[in-house]
Amino acid sequence: MKQPEQIEHKGTVAFVGHDVVLVNIEVMEACGSCASRKACAMGQGSTREILVSVDDAENYAVGDIVRVSAKQTVGVVAVLLCYVLPLIVMVAVLAIMVSLGFMEGTSALVALASLATYYAVLALFRKRISRKVVFAIKPMASLVESIISRKSKVESL
């Protein structure tokens, strides 16, 4: 079965800024069929906030229902950066410390400190990462209009 190329969630506009829109995402039951559901933060609660950079922020208003989408590769990158790489760093530091003859307690503390360092470095590169992790939004009205136009094209055939 082919995985979808886009990850999409329905949401409500919570704030509109100069060139950004803050969207509250409703976690959908469809997450149950997603292969990344266990590692994805979207499955951990009822709502999440996503800040989306847009060129046409004036076209959105608080309360608008929108569809937020991202390429599936964005989800994979997020899982790698937030879960997989920190685990590898922590285990590697722990193994190196123990193999160098340090006590387990000291090794564990240094491994935990390496996690803090990893996430601090990740925070420093936040802007650079945000250029690669791109979300797009589309008003639900536009989606309805496109479905209606497709349906009318099919009926005319």
Asked if the structure places residue 1 within a domain, the reply is no
Per the structure, the complete domain to which residue 96 belongs is given by: 6-149
- Provide, rounded to the nearest whole percent, the portion of the chain with pLDDT above 70: 73
Asked if the structure places residue 154 within a domain, the reply is no
Q: What is the pLDDT of residue 113?
A: 96
Q: What is the pLDDT of residue 109?
A: 97
Q: What is the pLDDT of residue 97?
A: 96
Q: With contact defined as beta carbons under 8 Å apart, do 137 and 23 qualify?
A: yes
Asked if the structure places residue 126 within a domain, the reply is yes
List strands edge to edge, sheet with 65-71. 47-53, 20-26, 6-16, 65-71, 136-139
How far apart (Å, rounded) are the C-alpha atoms in residues 109 and 137?
42
Asked if the structure places residue 104 within a domain, the reply is yes
Domain tally for the chain?
1
Structure confidence at residue 157 as a pLDDT band (50, 70, 90)? low
The bridge status of strand 20-26 relative to strand 47-53 is: antiparallel
Structure confidence at residue 90 as a pLDDT band (50, 70, 90)? very high
Residues 116-154: tens digit of each pLDDT: 999 999 999 988 887 777 888 888 865 555 556 555 555
Asked if the structure places residue 156 within a domain, the reply is no
Asked if the structure places residue 157 within a domain, the reply is no
First to last CA, the chain: 30
DSSP 3-state helix, strand, coil percentages of the chain (rounded to 5)? 55, 25, 25
Asked if the structure places residue 48 within a domain, the reply is yes
Residues 23-54: tens digit of each pLDDT: 998 765 555 556 555 555 555 556 788 888 88
How far apart (Å, rounded) are the C-alpha atoms in residues 56 and 20?
9
